[in-house]
Amino acid sequence: MVNHSTRMRGSASFFQNAGALCRGDKRLLTFWIREGRRDSIPVCMVLITLGCGIYGSVIGFRQGPEMACYVALKLPAIIFLTLCVNGLLNGLLGLVLGSEIGLRQSLRFLLTGYAIMSVILGALSPVILFLNLNMPGPSADGALVGHAATLLLHTAVIALAGILAHIRLLSCVREFAATRRAGTHTFMAWLLGNLFVGAQISWNLRPFFVSPGLDVEFLRPDPFNGNFYEAAFRAMQNLSFF
Amino acid sequence: MTHEQTAQKPSDPLALRQGNGSNPVKGYEPLEGGCNLPNLIGALLKKPLAIIHDLEAQKNPGKIITCLILISVACLSAFGFVVGTFSWNAQLWAAPLKIVLGLFFSGLICLPSLYIFSCLGGVHARFQTIAGLLCSLVALSGLLFIGFTPVVWLFSVSSTSVSFLGVLLILLWGICVVFGCVLALRAGRALGMTNPIHIILWCLVFLIVTLQMTTTLRPIVGADAKLFHFEEKKFFLRHWGEQVMHDLRPGTFNRDPSN
């Protein structure tokens, strides 16, 4: 036990940290969050970059290696930009909601949560790549069906990884917060804020899936012209709901 | 209530003022670390009732209120500037000015009613304490607005619809007011409040006044040839309704509400 703990605190490898994160190892999280270990942030950032990067390359691979590289860069960027935009707010919400989780601790918690999600996504990448390879390509017959199926598949996989990671994170936040109730409120506030901003940042960084007939490119020519919610509303208007 | 129970009532502020009572409301204790800006910012977020305690105990009330006003002005100005980046030009200075002045005018006209409604709710506090409570509410909202600033900036540079940004800002204001009202209720409880309904009612009044202020001082979001529209009087629901209906028409998303 002592050896295991010492090893974890000292020179734990990424694989050991990734495994401990997925188990929700309380000693590791206590060590990272309560004792404010600085090395927790680079570990989480590397795990996010690797996990989301690999999964991003799988998403883009359907459109060729160029798009695979673009999405491999953009998927981790969504997470980091969301945390940058919401970082201060998350810290303030943690304090105001009475959980006594401040700015740095909230950043560590959320990075840890996203690192768990990234590890899950990275681990599922080979399976998803196999499924992708069995779907009609962008220039083949039935490209529209293939595009729709890919879109649904990736949405489901990302949602699954997000839910699993956040369930793990919720139990940790509840444990570290001043009260369980305050922990739950803080977690829900973080989740709502990150979903709201994350959707917009992913819209700004589009394309990821490249609809049939559109060009492969890193960013659309007008990334800041309009927002995700306006686009969703226009889509509903086009469906004649309004 | 028996005489014994009355004597033991722990949150009697009169007894607290005389130093012979212990308040059971968590956080209602002397402010630690002195009365300075960084400490007050920390206290607003972590232990806001400590500020109310010091105000009621007459420990530097003037300095505390001045600091709270400074925090509010700084935070709201920064937030207003980011709101102004939606339209740039004159709105860069007009939006922060309108937000700061609008909120302070709203606070000023709501202060007497807060004092009266607090008294109706059973609160025993000095007028100065209630004024400090209102300043704390505005300062806390301002601090939360600072947290929302990056989010507003993101949508300000991306959105093309005035209505979208307007609705987003009102939602954020609603969230901030809820936190402020929770503070007012907690402070009321610490100061001997017997019935929360009066403070809840006042919170609704304050919210409506601030929402009406957004229409009175329009345009705060979006460019316009005129800086104010005082001559055209409108209720905020009608103004927003017209604006949203205008944007709902296909192909009308743009940054200029006059188009």
pLDDT per residue over A191-237, tens digit each? 999 989 998 999 999 898 888 888 888 998 888 888 888 888 877 77
For residue A152, how many other CB atoms are within 10 A of its CB?
A: 10
Could you give the CA distance from residue A30 to residue A120 in angstroms, rounded to a whole number?
22
Mutate one of B51, B156, B158 to test the A interface: name it (highest A CB count within 10 A).
B158
Please check the confidence at residue B240 and state whether its pLDDT lies above 80. yes
ipTM > 0.85, yes or no = no
Residue in the structure block whose two tokens are 């998803």: A128
The answer to whether the Cβ–Cβ distance between B253 and A89 falls below 8 Å is no
The answer to whether the Cβ–Cβ distance between B45 and A242 falls below 8 Å is no
pLDDT band at B251 (very low <50, low <70, confident <90, very high): low
pLDDT band at B253 (very low <50, low <70, confident <90, very high): low
Instruction: Give the model confidence (pLDDT) of A104-113 as tens digits.
Output: 889 988 998 8
The answer to whether the Cβ–Cβ distance between B150 and A230 falls below 8 Å is no
- In A, what residues contact B, Cβ < 8 A? 84-89, 91-93, 95-96, 100, 193, 196-197, 200-201, 203-204, 224-227, 229-230, 234, 237, 242
pLDDT band at A90 (very low <50, low <70, confident <90, very high): very high
Please enumerate in sequence order all residues whose Cβ is within 8 A of that of A174, keeping only pairs 6 or more positions apart, or say none: A180, A183, A184, A187
Q: Are B59 and B35 in contact (CB under 8 A)?
A: yes
pLDDT band at A150 (very low <50, low <70, confident <90, very high): confident
To the nearest whole Å, the CA of B92 is away from the closest chain A CA by: 20
Could you give the CA distance from residue A201 to residue A223 in angstroms, rounded to a whole number?
10
Of A96, A227, A234, the CB nearest to B158: A227
pLDDT band at A240 (very low <50, low <70, confident <90, very high): low
- Average of per-residue pLDDT across A177-185: 91
Higher pLDDT, residue A14 or B165: B165
pLDDT for position A24? 67
- Average of per-residue pLDDT across B72-84: 94
Mutate one of B79, B159, B165 to test the A interface: name it (highest A CB count within 10 A).
B159
Higher pLDDT, residue A213 or B30: B30
The verdict on whether omega for the bond into residue A207 sits within 30 degrees of 0, i.e. cis, is: yes
Most confident of A138-147, B98-107, B157-166: B98-107
pLDDT band at A7 (very low <50, low <70, confident <90, very high): very low
Of A84, A92, A225, the CB nearest to B45: A92
The answer to whether the Cβ–Cβ distance between B150 and A229 falls below 8 Å is no
- Cβ-based contacts of B143 with chain A (< 8 Å): 92
Is the alpha carbon torsion for B179, B177, B65, B184 positive or negative? negative
For residue B231, how many other CB atoms are within 10 A of its CB?
A: 6
Instruction: Give the model confidence (pLDDT) of B157-215 as tens digits.
Output: 888 888 889 999 999 999 999 999 999 999 999 998 988 999 999 999 999 999 999 88
For residue A217, CA distances in Å to A59, A63, A71, A74, A76 come to 14, 10, 10, 12, 17
Mutate one of B41, B44, B154, B245 to test the A interface: name it (highest A CB count within 10 A).
B154
pLDDT for position B18? 43
Please check the confidence at residue B259 and state whether its pLDDT lies above 50. no
The answer to whether the Cβ–Cβ distance between A92 and B147 falls below 8 Å is yes
pLDDT-above-70 percentage for chain B: 86
- Cβ-based contacts of A227 with chain B (< 8 Å): 155, 158-160, 164
Structure tokens at A164: 């699993």
Please enumerate in sequence order all residues whose Cβ is within 8 A of that of B246, keeping only pairs 6 or more positions apart, or say none: B163, B252, B257
Higher pLDDT, residue B68 or B91: B68
- Cβ-based contacts of B149 with chain A (< 8 Å): 88
Please check the confidence at residue B5 and state whether its pLDDT lies above 60. no
The mean pLDDT value of chain B amounts to 84
The answer to whether the Cβ–Cβ distance between B147 and A89 falls below 8 Å is yes
Q: Are A119 and B178 in contact (CB under 8 A)?
A: no
- Cβ-based contacts of A197 with chain B (< 8 Å): 151, 154
To the nearest whole Å, the CA of A113 is away from the closest chain B CA by: 21
The answer to whether the Cβ–Cβ distance between A96 and B140 falls below 8 Å is yes
pLDDT band at B8 (very low <50, low <70, confident <90, very high): very low
Mutate one of B82, B144, B151 to test the A interface: name it (highest A CB count within 10 A).
B151
The mean pLDDT value of chain A amounts to 84
Of B147, B164, B179, the CB nearest to A229: B164
Please check the confidence at residue A146 and state whether its pLDDT lies above 90. no
- In B, what residues contact A, Cβ < 8 A? 45-46, 140, 143-144, 146-151, 154-155, 157-161, 164, 179, 248, 250, 253
pLDDT for position B130? 94
To the nearest whole Å, the CA of A77 is away from the closest chain B CA by: 15
